Chains A and B, each alone.
Chain A
Amino acid sequence: MPSGPPARAETRPVPDATGLELIAQALQEANADSVLGTAFFRDRAVIIANPPDVHEVLGRLKDQGYDFLASLHGVDYYPEEPRLGVLYELLDMKEVDRISVKARVHTDAPRIASVVDLWPGADHPEREVYDMFGVVFEGHPDLRRILMPEDYEGFPQRRDFPVGGEPVLFTYNEDSPYGKSQ
């Protein structure tokens, strides 16, 4: 039974800023172009990877112990360029370390290598990023929309995609879009 609240437990910033630089340096030694930079904010370590080399970077980190892909999601950095970001949240369960890998691609050719061969669990998240942001994952076994209907046009999570004003399609009105004719 705790006697009053003890001081907040020291949450280890893992890896710390130095550790992150060491990891990034090791990755750069293996392939000089693979790492574009690092970011350390609020104890969150991010490696900014060169999009063509992201599979290689993730493979190396996986071998280092970051072998659990906790999350894979997309971000639209509109109006900054390159606009689309794909983020991989990696976790080392033994050391209880987390590291993020970020790769940013342009909207005119949003292509990035799939990591389904490294983690089968990247299947649905990659489909979601494709569905919402239009990033094409090369080598994905079954890349199609997951949350939106198959015949949907556009990528709704992009920042320039308007909110609202969209006709709702059901089977009974799919031949005569809402508002046009009855």
Chain B
Amino acid sequence: MTVTWYVVLSAVLFAIGAGGVLIRRSPLVILLCLELMLNAGNLALVAFSRAHGNAEGQVFALIVMVVAACEVVVGLGLIVAIFRRRLPLNVDELRGLKG
């Protein structure tokens, strides 16, 4: 079994995640799609690590998981804050940073 299949799967997952981020308006779903993209990256890292017989890729995957966990905390915190203020859960309407 070659590494190709894993990489193709990773690319498909990444494309799905990126598409979700671009298309969906709910911040919660965007967060889920971001997770999907990160884990697609993880999959590629682990696959290449196995293929090259080198553990460094797996270590990187672990670090990415830590970063992902942090990002989820911040992201969910933001969503909860938006919800509590009764603001619309729609990223197109949250435009306070317009230049």
Chain A partners chain B: no
Query: Which A residues are within 8 Å of any B CB, using their own CB?
Result: none
Query: Which B residues are within 8 Å of any A CB, using their own CB?
Result: none
